[in-house]
Structure 1
Amino acid sequence: MTLSPKALLTAAMICVVSSPSAFAADTYALDPAHTQTIFTINHLGFSTITGSIRDLRGTLILDSMKPEDSAIDVSMAANSVDTGFAARDKVLQGPMFFNIAQFPTMTFKSTHIKKTGPKTADIQGDFTLLGVTKPLVLKTTFNRMAQDKIGTNVFKVGFTATTVIKRSEFGMNAYVPYVGDIVHVTINFEGIKQ
């Protein structure tokens, strides 16, 4: 018996829809040119200092059909902390703060993802700073998934996330409470589909 082209197409569609592997998660590499980790911290009550971590690497495994099954793994080079003032950055990289000689890398690895809305989720994970690992939640908003037709024509996904870190919990106690203990963090993430 020979199937018509229409019947073959219908059969193929049924196979695709019924096959779990048809919706396998996609891998996205962090785009360092368009990913930022920005932090703000209070300075003696006079002002809020803003800085960033420039050297980031990581991978997002994104299951768009079931976002709860996604995962992210990111590492950040402590020597890339940049507040726009070289003398301060040198102090921040020293033993009182990031201690880059002993702890060159910070990491975040997701452990659980909970959808909180059509475009939002809480990404729970383990954050490691100064050799201390503690749970951290990223309040995350999905921005866009599409082909980058202006840039390199690659397929990309973008998110924005925020969190709060209490630095003394990781052993970074220098000048607390005069220099703020609470650090507000915003992450602008773009990933390139592999």
Structure 2
Amino acid sequence: MKFFTVLLVFISMFTATQAQAKIEQYKFEKPHTQIGFYVGHLGFSHSHGNFTDFDGEIIFNRAEVAKSSVNVTIQTASVEMGNDVWNEHVRDTFLKPNQFPTITFRSSSIDVTGENTADIKGNLKISGVTKPVVLKTVFNKEGANPFNKKYTTGFTATLDIKRSDFGIKEYLPAIGDDIEIRIEVEAECYEGCETVVNP
């Protein structure tokens, strides 16, 4: 009887270990991740901007994808519009980093919608206002990075918002209300993934 008790304990421990092994943790790899956006300018064009300072983490449950999560924090002072004057204008007039230093996204659920697509639902906080949003996400690839051998996953996410919903109403409608957001992510695994030495 004692043998079977020990065996059951061993099986329970093994099962728990296997379950834990399914949880993979990734961090955004900044040099190859872009968080960009487009906004209309006087009806003539769409200005492109991006943020250069951010942190993102993915907790991936391969067995139950719906239980995975994505958390992102963006430093608003890092906005880059490609021009010093435009940088200052967007930063100080619209984003106000002294008052609102970060933009955050915290996922609440992930719905798999296709073979390589998912809706990442969550809460986006901009200028102190939090709104529910859905990131339309396309999974691109996963595997060992051939240069640093780290296990990497990549995906593209898009989102359309109205800045007025977050209380940013300066210069409407000359500067567009609709903001098109596009995020290109390469994230490196730091726990729970096997590092492939010879891909």
Q: Which of the five TM-score ranges fits, normalised by the shorter chain?
A: 0.7 to 0.9
Aligned to 1:67: 65
Find the aligned partners of 1:179 and 1:69 in 2 and give their Cα distance: 39
Find the aligned partners of 2:153 and 2:60 in 1 and give their Cα distance: 9
Q: Which has the higher helix share?
A: 2
Structure 1 segments of 4+ aligned residues over 3 angstroms from their partners: none
Aligned to 1:4: none
Find the aligned partners of 1:20 and 1:166 in 2 and give their Cα distance: 45
Aligned to 1:97: 94
Matches within 5 A, 1:10-49: 19=15, 21-23=17-19, 24-49=22-47
Please provide the CA RMSD for this pair: 1.5
Q: Which amino acid aligns with 1:157?
A: T
TM-score, normalization by structure 1:
0.87
Find the aligned partners of 2:16 and 2:178 in 1 and give their Cα distance: 44
Deviation at 1:19, TM superposition (A): 2.7
Q: Which amino acid aligns with 2:88?
A: K
Residue by residue over 1:64-107, the C-alpha shift from the partner in whole angstroms, topping out at 9 and shown as x without a partner, is 2221111011100001110101101101111x300111111110
Matches within 5 A, 1:29-178: 29-94=27-92, 96-149=93-146, 151-178=147-174
Percent of residue pairs identical: 36
Q: For this pair of structures, how many residues does the alignment match? A: 177
- Name the SS of the counterpart of 2:48 in structure 1: strand
Find the aligned partners of 2:16 and 2:115 in 1 and give their Cα distance: 23
Residue by residue over 1:154-179, the C-alpha shift from the partner in whole angstroms, topping out at 9 and shown as x without a partner, is 11111100001110011110111121
Deviation at 1:21, TM superposition (A): 4.3
- Name the SS of the counterpart of 2:149 in structure 1: coil
Give unpaired runs (5+ residues) of structure 1.
1-14
Find the aligned partners of 1:113 and 1:140 in 2 and give their Cα distance: 10
Find the aligned partners of 2:154 and 2:62 in 1 and give their Cα distance: 13
Aligned to 2:188: 192
Find the aligned partners of 1:180 and 1:38 in 2 and give their Cα distance: 16
Find the aligned partners of 1:175 and 1:51 in 2 and give their Cα distance: 17
TM-score, normalization by structure 2:
0.85
Find the aligned partners of 2:17 and 2:41 in 1 and give their Cα distance: 52
Find the aligned partners of 2:133 and 2:180 in 1 and give their Cα distance: 12
- Name the SS of the counterpart of 1:152 in structure 2: coil
- Name the SS of the counterpart of 1:117 in structure 2: coil
